[in-house]
Structure 1
Amino acid sequence: MFNVKRIFSFLLVLLLLSNVTAVSAAEPIEEIRDLIKKHYIGDVPASVLSQRTAKDITKHLDPYSVYMTPKEFAQFTNGIEQKLYGVGIVLDEDVKGIKIISVIPGGPAERAGMKAGDIIVTANGVSLVGQSVQKAVSLISGDANTSVTLTYISGETNQNVTKTITREHIKIPNVEYQMLGGEIGYIRLNSFSHDATKEMISAIGKLSSAKGWIFDLRNNGGGYVTSAQEIAGLFPNVKDAFQLRYKTERPEIYAAIPQKVKFTNPTHILINEYSASASEMVAVSVKEQKGATLYGQTSFGKGSMQTLFPLSDSSLLKLTTAHFFSPKGVPVHEVGVKPNIETAKGEEVTTSHRDQLIAKFNGYQKLPTLKDVPVTKTFTVEMSMDMDWAALSPQDVQLIQLGGKEVAVDVKGEDIRKMTIKPKENLQSKGKYILLIHPKWMSKDAKHMQNGIYLEVTVK
């Protein structure tokens, strides 16, 4: 796809926060000008190309085209590979400053109360308005156990907040997985790193008994093109990964790379406003080829691809060289990917899990929803006929927290028509649950239940 001896391709500026050094004064400026003329996606006026330094030139290009020193490049690749140092945030440019795309769980920034959507305006008193991510990283980064003072606009209150945060090594797995209640496999991918597909295949194998899948790409800012092709190959019926249009505007369609292990139906993909680049590449292509159903909110809208050109002084030029589309030409850049099922923010997992369970138990009768029940709730079920509770089994009833695990219950016949279902632990405040009663019981006159029943539960 590319000349690997000279060009390495990437999607997204996903940057860790660690030490960087100043740019050398002796830049290969003519090399840089020539590469921009030949490969940059847009036309660049002579007044821009005549600027004296590489960073003076690239600041007039799109936000994703930048000049990097060798250490800045190492920082860039470490970010994709999730080797993170600093305060634990993933960044992108914004007209108001530097926007936080995601916050690493358990990291210093999260502990300080920073959230995705916050916009950093100063670092140690230096303005970040109009600056690149690389510039922000050079100011925010530093050695472990040192501190940085950040002023940011809160995404929730729109008020300025100032926090002093201590830097540290950030440890985060790239792939996280668990089996949710009802045998629904959940896998979260944080970055399209070199090893992403290998780790995904391992996670799918460890959840091999899953009867449905939730693949979480929320807050995933992207990574490598080849990883996106490989991840697309995990979905059944997905043959094409994406369409690229270079400076010539001639479309080229790239195939998904088939994998021996695949998701099985039904599969949902979760996206949000901070799912970008490679995440959008996979989401739009899988949606178009009906390999999965998308849940969440419209994604970020970074439908551009960057190519990294090594320069003669060992520095690097990252240029936007193409825009990507779905295989059939659906645009992504500055548009984003719209989900099939739009959900409220923060409700993506619970909504997807709920729909997976209801689809799995298709035909069950829905009872009225129980709202605002206490955390100590005991459920009472009354039947319309005399029942034979002797064969009653706890396995005939399931209480599943949406987005979580199954809750163990005690089931007891109270009288000839009434039974109680008591959770063995308190329910989670503000949690959502689904109670399933499977059609395995019979009445005194040996009549079997015809259909199962379910009801949804919300907790105070």
Structure 2
Amino acid sequence: MILTKRFFLFFIILLFTFQKSFSENTDLYKKIDLFGEVLEKISKEYVDEVDQSKSMDSAINGLLQSLDPYSAYMTPESFEGMQTETSGEFGGLGIEVGMEAGVVKVISPIDNTPASKAGLKAGDYIVKINNTQVQGKTLMQAVDLMRGPVGSSIEITVRRRGVKKALIFNITREVIQVQSVKSELIDNNIGYIRLTSFNENSSEQIKDKINELNKKKDLKGYILDLRNNPGGLLSQAIKISDFFLENGEIVSTRSRQASENRKWFAKKGDLTNGKTLIILINYGSASASEIVAGALKDHKRAIILGENSYGKGSVQSIIPLKNRGAIRLTIAKYYLPSGKSISEVGVTPDIEVAEGSDDFKFNSETDNQLNFAIKLFNG
């Protein structure tokens, strides 16, 4: 009797699960039919003739961008272009861009590139490229508009927080060669290291600079400048964080896939022997920059100075498709040792200091943040 009741209960649960699954699938099929109907209506009745292939590309991209600002569809042409650019030398403007509320937003201009020299800033909204309105276009479409032959010019119109009128920049495309690490000895006793991106060689270059500066007997400490650094390789963020830590968690990722749930820890050995460390960040500090700043802040290993960072705390994977295109899909989120997510929040500085200049030159009189950091060392 008990066995019969259990079997009956199992049958009811199985039936309910099947009905729920059937209902969900039926709703999905109805939506697919509806999409086909809308596409047919557009094809027959829209005022202008529509390329259905491009419409489908837009629909796919719209689906991905409804998830978050960083997921996107790449056509075969866009995917090929992206693979060319990741080689480390390419023709372009030198800006990292993303989407926010359907508008193309500058995450960060890269140092000494046409974009940074022209005066583009992190947080600028690109509203027009040459004579083409950008609003309503996908991120990849906007990126395609910005591409062009080296030496050719482009006019970019942006909206900036706190500025009433639109700003127009005329920029000449150049071959972009990213040199990620620069260093200087300030006042003969402060090691200044500027990191502009996290590429394959960044950690080795940082290590070399630290070892070189460590030879200075009267060295008080270090300033690590991560302003306008849009990020890069997670592996490099972990290695660079590890240089300043003796132990403890650096970062973790959480995902729906168990294989993507990971934690990374520091190994014993602080390369700077516990010397004072000040990290400079601003709104253009994103992704890997936020991992380094956030981890060292949580471990109370560094003083974070500047402005709140960008808030890009997610992991994207490039997934190739059958048509030789690809999708960039967010597969996980970063979490700091404190358990807090960086995503859409960023890292808050311990000492908030507004920018005075975007030049980021050693000892620049107009660089409020750098000068404030130097004053902290000098009491």
CA shift, 1:308, in A, is: 2.1
Deviations 1:85-111 (A, max 9, x none): 222323222337322233344433344
Q: State yes or no: 1:236 paired with 2:242.
A: no
Q: State yes or no: 1:351 paired with 2:361.
A: no
In the alignment, residue 357 of structure 1 is paired with which amino acid? N
Which secondary structure state, in structure 2, belongs to the residue aligned with residue 90 of structure 1?
strand
- The structure 1 residue matched to 2:147, chosen from 141, 147, 156, is 141
In the alignment, residue 175 of structure 1 is paired with which amino acid? V
> What residue is the counterpart of 1:397 in the other structure?
none
Which secondary structure state, in structure 2, belongs to the residue aligned with residue 267 of structure 1?
strand
TM-score normalised by length of structure 2: 0.73
In the alignment, residue 188 of structure 1 is paired with which amino acid? R
CA distance in 2, matches of 1:157, 1:48: 44
Give the conservation status (yes or no) of the 8 Å contact 1:236–1:263. Answer: no
Residues 111 and 228 from structure 1, CA distance in 2 versus in 1: closer, same or farther, beyond 3 angstroms? closer
CA shift, 1:217, in A, is: 1.0
> What residue is the counterpart of 1:211 in the other structure?
220
In the alignment, residue 108 of structure 1 is paired with which amino acid? P
CA distance in 2, matches of 1:130, 1:294: 37
Deviations 1:403-438 (A, max 9, x none): xxxxxxxxxxxxxxxxxxxxxxxxxxxxxxxxxxxx
Alignment of 1:47-126 (within 5 A): 47=31, 52-53=56-57, 54-69=60-75, 72-73=78-79, 75-76=81-82, 83-95=89-101, 97-126=103-132
- Higher relative strand content: 1
CA shift, 1:57, in A, is: 2.8
Alignment of 1:368-407 (within 5 A): none
Q: Aligned-residue CA RMSD in angstroms?
A: 2.9
Which secondary structure state, in structure 1, belongs to the residue aligned with residue 305 of structure 2?
strand
Give the conservation status (yes or no) of the 8 Å contact 1:230–1:256. Answer: no
Deviations 1:285-325 (A, max 9, x none): 11111221211111111121112223344432221111211
> What residue is the counterpart of 1:188 in the other structure?
194
CA shift, 1:205, in A, is: 2.1
CA distance in 1, matches of 2:253, 2:289: 15
CA distance in 2, matches of 1:65, 1:258: 33
Which secondary structure state, in structure 2, belongs to the residue aligned with residue 100 of structure 1?
strand
Tell me which moved more, 211-220 or 87-96: 87-96
> What residue is the counterpart of 2:254 in the other structure?
245
- The structure 2 residue matched to 1:325, chosen from 335, 341, 348, is 335
CA distance in 1, matches of 2:310, 2:178: 23
Which secondary structure state, in structure 2, belongs to the residue aligned with residue 137 of structure 1?
helix
TM-score normalised by length of structure 1: 0.61
- Higher relative helix content: 2
In the alignment, residue 90 of structure 1 is paired with which amino acid? E
- The structure 2 residue matched to 1:337, chosen from 335, 342, 347, is 347
Give the conservation status (yes or no) of the 8 Å contact 1:93–1:131. Answer: no
Tell me which moved more, 239-248 or 134-143: 239-248
Which secondary structure state, in structure 2, belongs to the residue aligned with residue 213 of structure 1?
strand
In the alignment, residue 356 of structure 1 is paired with which amino acid? F
CA shift, 1:233, in A, is: 1.0
Alignment of 1:218-233 (within 5 A): 218-233=227-242
> What residue is the counterpart of 1:159 in the other structure?
165
Give the conservation status (yes or no) of the 8 Å contact 2:70–2:98. Answer: no
Q: State yes or no: 1:262 paired with 2:271.
A: yes
Q: How many residues align?
A: 314
Give the conservation status (yes or no) of the 8 Å contact 1:233–1:239. Answer: no
Residues 227 and 131 from structure 1, CA distance in 2 versus in 1: closer, same or farther, beyond 3 angstroms? farther
Instruction: Name stretches of at least 5 consecutive residues in structure 1 with no aligned partner.
Output: 1-44, 359-460
Deviations 1:102-151 (A, max 9, x none): 33444333444433333210112222224343222100110012222222
In the alignment, residue 232 of structure 1 is paired with which amino acid? S
CA distance in 1, matches of 2:168, 2:373: 37
CA distance in 1, matches of 2:266, 2:206: 14
Residues 250 and 298 from structure 1, CA distance in 2 versus in 1: closer, same or farther, beyond 3 angstroms? farther
CA distance in 2, matches of 1:184, 1:79: 36
CA distance in 1, matches of 2:149, 2:93: 11
CA shift, 1:329, in A, is: 0.8
Query: Higher Cα Rg: structure 1 or 2?
Result: 1
Give the conservation status (yes or no) of the 8 Å contact 2:123–2:283. Answer: no
Residues 90 and 181 from structure 1, CA distance in 2 versus in 1: closer, same or farther, beyond 3 angstroms? same
In the alignment, residue 194 of structure 1 is paired with which amino acid? E
CA distance in 1, matches of 2:90, 2:269: 31
Residues 48 and 299 from structure 1, CA distance in 2 versus in 1: closer, same or farther, beyond 3 angstroms? farther
Give the conservation status (yes or no) of the 8 Å contact 1:81–1:193. Answer: no
In the alignment, residue 144 of structure 2 is paired with which amino acid? S
CA distance in 2, matches of 1:322, 1:269: 26
CA shift, 1:193, in A, is: 1.2
Instruction: Name stretches of at least 5 consecutive residues in structure 2 with no aligned partner.
Output: 1-26, 37-55, 357-367
Deviations 1:141-194 (A, max 9, x none): 100122222222244523113343322223441111111114111111111112
> What residue is the counterpart of 2:299 in the other structure?
289
Q: State yes or no: 1:315 paired with 2:325.
A: yes
CA shift, 1:348, in A, is: 1.9
CA shift, 1:71, in A, is: 5.6
